């Protein structure tokens, strides 16, 4: 029985974005790390625009953009959402080369359906969503999410990401965001979208 429980935990999708604030973390990061985040955000925007991949700020980075026009002080990595329909139009090697050209290293996690981008001390999550069969929703890809399809925070109405998207200032850079201000957060953070969540001690 214990072995089955361990298997279940290994297969279950990560809920890190919904639980990161329950773990002890720094309340702020050095200015050097912030500068690396700024540089990485610009490089990601440039690369995704050049490869015609639709993207927008989401999760913690969207909270930061809405509240203070930058990353929240205690949030150490960037969050972007991208569309699988765009990814399937180009070879994956093209994406890796495009990022490498800007000095960014990228890896892909098939379980979570998520790319991680690295530059200096900064990292960014590029979470991949695809249209549902009825086109009404955008759902996270990744094989663990298919096994646990009803897990909270894994989908949102597709109308919120329908182009053209609005833009908002983020680190003095104009970045696309979902429609409806915080509407998407009600789906990605169903239990606490109405509260500002900080790590313990902040």
pLDDT in tens, 28-73: 899 999 999 999 999 999 999 999 999 999 999 999 999 999 999 9
**Residue for token pair 């569309």:** 83
Distances (CA, A) of 74 to 11, 61, 70, 196: 29, 11, 11, 12
pLDDT in tens, 75-129: 999 999 999 999 999 999 999 999 999 999 999 999 999 999 999 999 999 999 9
Domain assignment present for 43:
yes
Q: Which domain holds residue 97?
A: 30-188
Phi, psi torsion values for 128, nearest 5 degrees? -95, 130
**Residue for token pair 């993207």:** 55
Q: For the chain, how many structural domains are there in total?
A: 1
Mean pLDDT value across the chain? 88
Domain assignment present for 178:
yes
Beta bridge partners of 83: 129
Task: Check which CATH number belongs to the domain holding 150 and give it.
Answer: 3.30.460.40
Strands 167-170 and 173-176: antiparallel
Helix, strand, or coil here: 130? Answer: strand
């Amino acid at each position: 029985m214990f072995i089955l429980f361990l298997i279940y935990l290994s297969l279950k999708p990560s809920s890190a974005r919904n639980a990161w604030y329950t773990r002890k973390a720094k309340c702020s990061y050095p200015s050097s790390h912030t500068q690396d985040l700024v540089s990485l955000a610009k490089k990601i925007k440039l690369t995704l625009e050049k490869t015609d991949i639709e993207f927008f700020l989401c999760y913690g980075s969207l909270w930061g953009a809405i509240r203070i026009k930058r990353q929240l002080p205690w949030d150490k990595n960037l969050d972007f959402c991208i569309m699988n329909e765009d990814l399937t139009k180009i070879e994956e090697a093209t994406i890796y080369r495009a990022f490498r050209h800007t000095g960014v290293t990228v890896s892909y996690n098939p379980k979570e359906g998520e790319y991680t981008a690295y530059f200096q001390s900064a990292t960014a999550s590029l979470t991949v969503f695809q249209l549902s069969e009825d086109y009404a929703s955008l759902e996270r890809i990744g094989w663990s999410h298919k096994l646990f399809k009803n897990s909270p925070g894994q989908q949102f109405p597709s109308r919120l990401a329908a182009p053209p998207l609005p833009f908002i200032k983020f680190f003095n850079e104009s970045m696309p965001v979902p429609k409806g201000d915080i509407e998407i957060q009600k789906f990605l953070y169903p239990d606490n979208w109405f509260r500002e969540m900080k790590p313990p001690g902040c």
